[in-house]
Amino acid sequence: MKKPVVAILGIFLLASGAAAINIKIEAGVFAGLRTVSDATIKDTYGQGLVFFPYADLEIIKGFALGAGYEFGYSKTAKLGIFEEDATLKVAGFEVFAAFQPRIKKISPYLAVGIGFFSYTQTVESAYARDVDFSKTTFLVAGGIKFYPIKGLYVAAEAKFIPLKVKPFEDEDAVDLGGLRLSLGAGYTFGSK
């Protein structure tokens, strides 16, 4: 729980200082559905809700660099013939570059970046091995922001993150990646 709180505070502290140094920073949060590509994982744990607080800095008109933290996917299930309790969690820090031209009150955007994800699976069994690893991967996202009043925006986004992992050397790779379909809101601080 500490990582999401630190990430959210850091993002909003950075954004709040933007007006003082006359730069444009947007800070917001997305919430939405996280899909899982692997059929076995999807059947066992299912899709889940994720949150993504982020901030981006406009470096030149229409181009921004940003960072955010995805968290919230934590699903439980019963595994094996003994129906043992298991939990799967996936979270990650992302950095991205975005092209987001503003056309009056609308800003369509495309972003590409890198994600640093951790994934853990714990099974309440003396015979099962727990999983606690991390993986770096790329990401691509597209969406649209709408600015109903000055500074405030609402947004919709689709993001694809491939995340093929191999928990143990003697097991096949598992695809924890998939789409994130999210709605969000945020605020523009400062100006450029």
pLDDT of 79: 78
Q: How many percent of the chain have pLDDT more than 90?
A: 51
Tens of pLDDT, residues 69-96: 999 999 988 877 777 888 889 999 999 9
| Domain at 145, CATH number | 2.40.160.20
pLDDT of 168: 58
* Cβ–Cβ < 8 Å for 159, 139: yes
What value does the mean pLDDT of the chain take? Answer: 86
Across 108-146, b (16+ Cβ under 10 Å) vs e yields ebebebebebebebebeeeeeeebeeebebebebebebe
pLDDT of 1: 55
Tally of structural domains, the chain: 1
Higher pLDDT, 62 or 18: 62
Q: Which domain holds residue 45?
A: 2-189
Partner residues linked to 184 by β-bridges:
30, 155
Is pLDDT at 159 greater than 90 in this prediction? yes
* Cβ–Cβ < 8 Å for 94, 106: no
